[in-house]
Structure 1
Amino acid sequence: MKKSVVSAALAALAIGVAFAAPAKAADVSACLITKTDTNPFFVKMKEGATAKAKELGVTLKSYAGKIDGDSESQVAAVESCIAEGAKGILIAASDTKGIVPTIKKARDAGLLVIALDTPLDPADAADATFATDNLLAGKLIGEWANKTLGEKAKDAKIGFLDLTPSQPTVDVLRDQGFMIGFGIDPKDPNKIGDETDPRIVGHDVTNGNEEGGRKAMENLLQKDSSINVIHTINEPAAIGAYQALKAVGLEKQVLIVSVDGGCPGVKSVKDGVIGATSQQYPLMMAALGVEAIKKFADTGEKPKPTAGKSFFDTGVSLVTDKPVTGLKSIDTKEGTAKCWG
């Protein structure tokens, strides 16, 4: 990438403050690269990384794209981290395939690269992945929706509010998980939109924000106004969907499920806006990532995945005030105690 392009992209990034480090760890530096710096999930991720970096005496620089899907800024950030001699990179990638060649440059330069929340494609393009089991997160809300509907599930009209057209792995895993949990054949497990189940009204993208959720919901209602189940990539998109439904008096017709578990999202479950959400723990992901980079810098040891999985699983819980038989969940009181944002 030409210097001028890199400079322009970096200008769009949110760059964090570096911390003064103790003498022993003075040369240990790390980068955190998130999709945006406005989504509460990534705000909490940055908070976790920042606190742990300060605790361990690691110099941390933080970068974020302008919007979810801004891969160019992330590519520029990785190249900047390489040039600055960072020991490792924590990244929640917007384009999980497109950024792989740049990630390879970082690893070839000796940096430890850990994918946070969103696995790269292929997953082994990173040294490790610290994430929610996003397939399980989708399965939990899919099964909950199916059991909540009961006999009506066989005639459901389902819409999917996805993330971006590039279909990042986190998007695919949550979609496919929901389908499996609900009892829908997802066909190709690595692709969104090839399903043939007649209950699926369609998919639309939201960029993971309220405005995107509102517009996507409006688009799906134009296809079929009898939709009664909505799966959303995250809670901001879910709130946007609810706003669109309420505007046309259909908010009581539709069961909305989501993934995140942020404090605003848990409140939306308590208020009945969202039926259930799968809660994940971004602060833990980022804090563990900084610890792993510090350990790698000190010993050369790379992190290992959770036993029986290809990634380090940071946990997930189903949050709902309407539990169903045979599916473990926590209520919004407990969800509030564990929430973020």
Structure 2
Amino acid sequence: RGGNDGNTGVKKNFSNERLDDAKSRLKKILGANSQLERQVADLAASYDKLAKSYGLGSFKPTRTASYSCLNDVTLTEAADKAPEPEESKTPPVESIQKKIEAALAKDSKPVEPTEQVLPPEERLKIVIVSSEVAPFSKSGGLADVCDKLGVALSRMGHRVMTVAPLYWRYEGAQYTGVWKEFGLFKQKLRIEYFRKFRETVPATETQPARGVDHIFVQQGCYERHGMYGHNDDLMRFALLSWAALEAPFSVECDGSVYGDDVIFLVNDWMVGLVPLIMTSHYRRYGCYKQARTVFDIHNMGYCGNFPVVDPHDLGLP
């Protein structure tokens, strides 16, 4: 009997060791699960901040971790209990999405007349150059940003122009009678300017209506199926850059041109030549001396990589 008692004690100790080991592993699993959930919540919050800026949908995980097999497991000792996960301060994804939708709905409502505008000495002339501008042309968030930014700046009292290609005939866009010709890639390319004014703030007894002057560059190279992915994209968007720099001098909006005392807001690689052309060409002839350029990169995933070309093909010296 004594031998049997000894064997029983060994078995007991062995079982306790295995139980302790199982408890330890279980605590690690539960702790890792809590940490993973917090990381997913933080990731969702970070993503939704970007989504709010670019008009994207919210982060919605398609699958969550499940530990239903552990529901019946309990740790009786207080020291063996897995630490309770801290309450996440991140609001639920659904509430974030509702806030975004509410903000967009509010932004789409008509703006009441207001006289709270900047004094004349603080008003700027701003030219937003982009390959797409909503609601006329759009493949992603770039178009929405250019649209909303133009609307917001015009409501503040700034004079705002957008310049983008005329991919198809937009309702209300009228030919201005202005055309230009540029020499690119050993060919003469003629472009024509179209214009549409979008009112953002109605006129009052003391203030004229405010809005955005949408200028469109018409050329056959833009009138294709799809805005991007063509073999001659370098030529197409180099042409847009040249056309954008001519527009403030050439296209009258409400009886006057913008002139060269402007700020260019240049968006992504498609119009990245604007600062280079301004410096290498226009300033050599005394133009755009006071102009400034802001180059906005929306997505580093799109870099516009092309084979090396002769600078003269781009109209550069």
TM interval, shorter chain, is under 0.3
TM-score by length of 1: 0.26
Rg larger in 1 or in 2? 2
TM-score under structure 2 length normalisation: 0.27
Structure with the bigger RCO (C-alpha within 8 Å, sep 6+) is 1
